[in-house]
Structure 1
């Protein structure tokens, strides 16, 4: 019986078929019972009825919502049947099995009781033994490899956050009226409050507040002007009338700021567009004799448009294999670069091409095959030219007379102000440390709190916003006057990291003879009216090793200097 039931349960059947099969089984069983026991008179006594009731009661009702496990299925299939359809003889002959039913019910899965959590007392000796001599050796190696510099390098990438840590009290960010007024007055008038003889507040809090200001154009309070790819700028629509007025104001502001840069009344400024960022620097900054600009990232289309305008540029981060080095030591892009001897190079290339064609013709090649080879070669050159697009290697350097042509190109190019996407119709953001036409003054949001790290309490001051390269040297020089040790952690904008990399390579290439010459001294003197303090000018005009660096963390200790990474 059990085998037939198991076989029928394997395949799915409809209710009508199941009822029909059930009736057939009942008829077969009744016939077999009549044939075997046709002479026997079966009489059911009251005792048999009591046994039948006891067997039915002993079997517990199965829970329809319980999950059946594999073991319970095996036990049910192997165990004897309690009820065999309507056959009364099978119920009487088979004894009631209550234990197996109980075991089946008891085998429902149950969670084990949770283990008790026992805490052992802290043993400082056992904990210290975990750190073997290898850890001390590693620390000593790290200290030996770490370089300490007397002066802090300049990081030309824009920061979005800077946080200062110190074990002693930091300058307060909740300012008094005199401190806030003195900091704002010192910034607007470009006054060194430490050496001033006026009635300005010279407390550390007022001087630190002076470093948190900067100038910006345009300023639209409901938009995030930097970084321009912010999610808050989605779904912003500007009308045609507003676009024209913004473009006119921006062109006047950009023209006035560039004239200040050429006159060395402004040390540097940033132009931040949707797809690129440009750093303009005055003559004398970074050891460069002429006004220059760094543009990152660039693409093949942008570089080709510059060549069409006759603007010469170089790629300082690109390897020498893909570049041609001129006599004055500047790097120029290998193919298609506009230069003074461009006609001679074109003539030489044409002569080489003619020789190649003659050689192919001597081999018996058709014109179609030669054209396929030329097209494949052109595609390879195009792929090499586009391989470094939108990367740090694609940063372009434009200096000298070409910088004026580059300014005119940006002022008149339609691609400068995007018409599609985020901030469509909004001109690029201009950022500068000094005032310029139609600019608005902005400041960093500051917050001071107390932090506990590794069992030591630290006082911290955090700045959020657009952190210009002059903020960190000024704040560090201020803290060096009264603090034994402090550290700074920063978050950089990834699109401006190429400025520090290119500046480091350009400053390291300056020879020692140029450093000893009077050009660097004259560069500092000519920038004396740019609105920055003498210490900041020294750091911006410094050349050589460790004058420029890409920094994310800075540590200072009196007697050693600065360590950065």
Structure 2
């Protein structure tokens, strides 16, 4: 049944054609991003999501790509390809712990960009045993034990928001080539077997197709004090991109005389994309990227939600209130 429903799952030739066309579309989007004709786009794989943002968005003055969630294997593969990246949430947590532990006799020595690990120099780490004359009575950890301990620290952040990886500048182009040539990017089983990752963009690109969101409106009556009032609801299903949400709020503000509420459901692994990766708003010429000027101003701001996302949005008298 699966073979009939997904003919490409067992057809390697067809898979190669699909992947070739996908690579052209992916490259097209990146070139649009670089030319400031596309503000951002998503690469949605069955394991993780990548958000590419143009220079000027989210307070960055260069092109950025944020990946979530990541695993030790993915990060190691990126390093092997020469892709420089950072784990800002891990580094932030480590910095906070170091500040809290100031004044203690024991200090942590960080190795690598991801985790705090013991020193590689075993003799230095156990020199105090020699001073006490008991070095022969204590078994020192061998190289394998130290390596396993490091790996344990690394995998602790796998699949968690803290595993967010950030790639900046020219390294995003290296990431592009890495993703195009990455064999594990395509699922080998399940409904997505044999299919390239999904590309989502607010602007048209080579090979892209226009998809409409599913909308359903409902009317009901709700009791307010001693009377009943008409309640109108609009349910929108699908990948609602950030610019679409902002445009919807602008539309509802005008249509509902500045009073409405909205409940939002976020794809959880991407909530961490709201993390603050910069300290100031950068002004860039993105007027030709296809977004409304007010939407562009909003997306250019430095994110403030951290690892969370908007869950509830309410407007009263044209003033916003929200919960995350």
- The CA distance in 2 between the partners of 1:546 and 1:379, in whole Å, is 35
Note the C-alpha offset of 1:238: 4.0
Note the C-alpha offset of 1:237: 3.3
- Counting matched residue pairs gives 298
Q: Is 1:268–2:44 an aligned residue pair?
A: no
Q: Is 1:532–2:297 an aligned residue pair?
A: no
Alignment of structure 1 residues 56-455 onto 2, 5 Å: 237-318=9-90, 320=92, 322=94, 334-337=110-113, 352-356=121-125, 363-365=134-136, 369-372=139-142, 374-454=143-223, 455=228
- The CA distance in 1 between the partners of 2:222 and 2:154, in whole Å, is 49
- The CA distance in 2 between the partners of 1:365 and 1:313, in whole Å, is 42
8 Å contact from structure 1 (residues 261, 267) kept in 2 = yes
8 Å contact from structure 1 (residues 312, 337) kept in 2 = no
- The CA distance in 2 between the partners of 1:363 and 1:296, in whole Å, is 47
Note the C-alpha offset of 1:538: 0.8
SS in 2 for 1:551: coil
Paired residue for 1:470, among 226, 243, 260? 243
Alignment of structure 1 residues 476-487 onto 2, 5 Å: 476-484=249-257, 485-487=259-261
User: Alpha carbons of 1:544 and 1:295: their partners in 2 closer, same or farther (altered >3 Å)?
Assistant: closer
Deviations 1:140-186 (A, max 9, x none): xxxxxxxxxxxxxxxxxxxxxxxxxxxxxxxxxxxxxxxxxxxxxxx
In structure 1, the gaps of 5 or more residues are 1-222, 224-232, 325-333, 339-348
RMSD: 3.1
Q: Which residue number in structure 2 is paired with residue 543 of structure 1?
A: 302
- The CA distance in 2 between the partners of 1:289 and 1:478, in whole Å, is 30
Deviations 1:169-212 (A, max 9, x none): xxxxxxxxxxxxxxxxxxxxxxxxxxxxxxxxxxxxxxxxxxxx
SS in 2 for 1:295: strand
8 Å contact from structure 2 (residues 87, 166) kept in 1 = yes
Note the C-alpha offset of 1:377: 3.7
| Higher share in helix | 1
SS in 2 for 1:463: strand
Moved more, 411-420 or 315-324: 315-324
Note the C-alpha offset of 1:235: 10
Q: Is 1:495–2:269 an aligned residue pair?
A: yes
SS in 2 for 1:370: coil
- The CA distance in 1 between the partners of 2:272 and 2:148, in whole Å, is 28
After TM superposition, the score normalised by the length of structure 2 is 0.82
8 Å contact from structure 2 (residues 85, 167) kept in 1 = yes
User: Alpha carbons of 1:546 and 1:533: their partners in 2 closer, same or farther (altered >3 Å)?
Assistant: same
Note the C-alpha offset of 1:360: 6.2
- The CA distance in 2 between the partners of 1:533 and 1:399, in whole Å, is 25
User: Alpha carbons of 1:301 and 1:546: their partners in 2 closer, same or farther (altered >3 Å)?
Assistant: closer
- The CA distance in 1 between the partners of 2:135 and 2:153, in whole Å, is 30
Deviations 1:397-441 (A, max 9, x none): 111121111111111121222334441211000000000001111
- The CA distance in 2 between the partners of 1:238 and 1:275, in whole Å, is 21
- The CA distance in 2 between the partners of 1:548 and 1:536, in whole Å, is 22
The structure with the larger Rg is 1
| Higher share in strand | 2
- The CA distance in 2 between the partners of 1:450 and 1:236, in whole Å, is 43
User: Alpha carbons of 1:354 and 1:401: their partners in 2 closer, same or farther (altered >3 Å)?
Assistant: farther
- The CA distance in 2 between the partners of 1:419 and 1:408, in whole Å, is 21
Moved more, 544-553 or 265-274: 544-553
After TM superposition, the score normalised by the length of structure 1 is 0.48
Deviations 1:434-460 (A, max 9, x none): 000011110011122202334432112
Note the C-alpha offset of 1:365: 2.9
Paired residue for 1:460, among 216, 229, 233? 233
- The CA distance in 2 between the partners of 1:235 and 1:322, in whole Å, is 48
Note the C-alpha offset of 1:317: 2.1
Paired residue for 1:506, among 269, 274, 277? 277
SS in 2 for 1:256: helix
- The CA distance in 1 between the partners of 2:206 and 2:72, in whole Å, is 33
- The CA distance in 2 between the partners of 1:260 and 1:294, in whole Å, is 18
